[in-house]
Structure 1
Amino acid sequence: MKLVTFIKDGQQALGFKLDSGIVDAAKAGLPWDVMDVIEGGADKVAELERAIGGLDLSSESGLLLDEASLEWGPCVTKPNKIICVGLNYRKHAEETNAPIPEYPILFNKFNNTLTGHLKSVAVPKVTEKLDYEAELVVVIGKKTKDVAKEKALEHVFGYACVNDLSARDLQLRTQQWLLGKTCDDFSPLGPYLVTADEVGNPNNLAMKTTVNGEVRQHSNTSDMIFYVDEIVSYISRHMTLVPGDIILTGTPEGVVLGLPPEQQVYLKPGDEVTIEIEKLGSLTNRFVAE
């Protein structure tokens, strides 16, 4: 199942994607938001599927929305934690001349960074080096503490695309990366939250980034140093994960930072970036002046 968040009457609303369009969950008699579904897990998803089976989805029913008409929100709206893994693709570590990590490098972002598909993102005045990063997002579906790697994927609700925007001059100003990662709208997330059963193996997904139509990143999640099951297990040994927590699992090679200095052209107002991950759809944002 593909879940979406869209804006209706100024509020975030839940929808689910079908081939024929987006169903407004509230109009279908399901007064939930996406966090309700994540927290309800398989039982809530099954309830949604049963409800969909009984709907009149004709064009006259008024239940179907055209994707092109939506104002999108982040597909996960209120994560308790946003945890990120740095330098988790072998070729990305190599392009930035960083050693291959022995353990996952963890840092965090905050909810102020969340925004949706097709939302404009302001280039902050405080940076001159705004970079893109295509990443697979893992959405936790169960309370998870000290889970074995072999069981870790059973605790995943689903997956999504994210652009882990990074102000490199701020990120590298000190040894702590947080400042360069947490400006407003620095985590466009979506368009869909795709349940784990539709995705299958998360470490065999093609991924691509285009900037103004030019392909910049083209890789596969199989290049991760620490796979999704390892990441979830490792984090859960140190803290309790709860439904709705999201984990950004790192970016492949092809970021601006990895280019020779004379070729580094960072994002600027007017640029358009699309992040595409197999089975998860395409996430597009345009950049504007702050």
Structure 2
Amino acid sequence: MKLISFTRAGKPGFGAVVDGGIVDLTGKIAPEVTDIRALLERDLMAETAAFLSGRKPGLGWADIQLLPVLPNPNKILCIGLNYLKHKQETGRPDVEHPTVFTRFADTQIAHGQPLVKPAISERFDYEGELAIIIGKPARNVPEAEALDHLAGYSIYNDGSVRDWQRHTIQFTPGKNFPGTGAFGPYLVTTDEIGDYRDLGIETRLNGEVMQKAALSDLLFPLETLVAYCSTFTPLSPGDVIVTGTPGGVGDKRNPPVYMFPGDVVEVEIDNLGVLRNPIVAEQAP
């Protein structure tokens, strides 16, 4: 399945992408299930697949406005320095454990919506990444069982305000400006993907390829990330782990390449689609 979150006539909802359009799932699987997180919390993915069998779309793309795939996760955990080329370009040493920081849900935007370059910085950078969505509660999960706790995969652009990222050794300020985290377009369920290591990821800025890698290049694979994160915090259905960006970030190019109003950035991952966002300037309050 491909699941999306959206607003329709000003009201939030969710649905499934099918041939010819969208099936509205808001309140259809159960009356209280009005978003993807609630669907996952109630473990109703099998019922959803059965409901969709043979069903025709009732909505077109013009009928909705997309939201971030998970507008309301309890947690967004981001992983830094998780591809060798990116670690090398930053000059960071080898580490024994994943580098983890957080992003706030209210910084997210959807596919097609503008990423917002902060007025305070001229160093707004792209970071194309694979996002994984937790489908079952996970606490102290062994690596061998980690993938069983995933509901699906999506695409993330972890837009980074580099000067603010480096005010201290903590990344958080540079990762949480409003409108800087693009998430979408879909949650693609794990049964649609197979081995995630076979997927490729590519980031393009104004059509030029800036990042290109394979998911098999992850220094800490998905199994390790889920196991590690579930050890220090309980992972709940709808939580998101953003798994790291490949080499080629704009900040480490010579000369550096940053995103400015009028630019368009795309992140593509095989079988997951394309996350496309224009860049706009922050508006004065």
Output the TM-score relative to the length of structure 1. Answer: 0.92
Q: Does 1:34 align with 2:36?
A: yes
Matching of residues 232-243 of structure 1 within 5 Å: 232-243=226-237
Contact 2:36 2:238 in 1 (8 A): no
| Residue 117 of structure 1, aligned match among 105, 111, 120 | 111
Q: What does residue 13 of structure 2 align with?
A: 13
Q: What does residue 145 of structure 2 align with?
A: 151
Distance 2:5 2:117 in 1: 24
Give the secondary-structure state (helix, strand or coil) at the position aligned to 1:191.
Answer: strand
Q: Does 1:140 align with 2:157?
A: no
| Residue 178 of structure 2, aligned match among 180, 184, 203 | 184
Q: Does 1:231 align with 2:231?
A: no
Contact 1:92 1:258 in 2 (8 A): no
Distance 1:4 1:286 in 2: 20
Q: What does residue 50 of structure 1 align with?
A: 50
Give the secondary-structure state (helix, strand or coil) at the position aligned to 1:35.
Answer: helix
Give the secondary-structure state (helix, strand or coil) at the position aligned to 1:142.
Answer: coil
Q: Does 1:206 align with 2:204?
A: no
| Residue 286 of structure 1, aligned match among 273, 278, 285 | 278
Q: Does 1:272 align with 2:264?
A: yes
Distance 2:106 2:121 in 1: 17
Give the secondary-structure state (helix, strand or coil) at the position aligned to 2:40.
Answer: helix
Q: Give the unaligned 5+ runs of structure 1.
A: 58-62
Distance 1:188 1:115 in 2: 5
Cα drift, residue 202 of structure 1: 2.2
User: Once structures 1 and 2 are overlaid, which stretch shifts more, 173-182 or 10-19?
Assistant: 10-19
CA RMSD between the two structures: 1.6
Cα drift, residue 132 of structure 1: 0.3
Contact 1:96 1:257 in 2 (8 A): no
**Shift in CA distance, 191/30, structure 1 to aligned 2, threshold 3 Å:** farther
Q: Give the unaligned 5+ runs of structure 2.
A: none
AA matched with 2:90: T
| Residue 216 of structure 1, aligned match among 210, 213, 218 | 210
Q: What fraction of aligned residue pairs are identical, expressed as a percent?
A: 41
Q: What does residue 129 of structure 1 align with?
A: 123
Distance 1:40 1:167 in 2: 37
Q: Does 1:106 align with 2:108?
A: no
AA matched with 2:13: A
AA matched with 1:265: V
Cα drift, residue 26 of structure 1: 3.7
Q: What does residue 25 of structure 2 align with?
A: 25
Q: What does residue 160 of structure 1 align with?
A: 154
Distance 2:98 2:62 in 1: 39
AA matched with 1:36: A
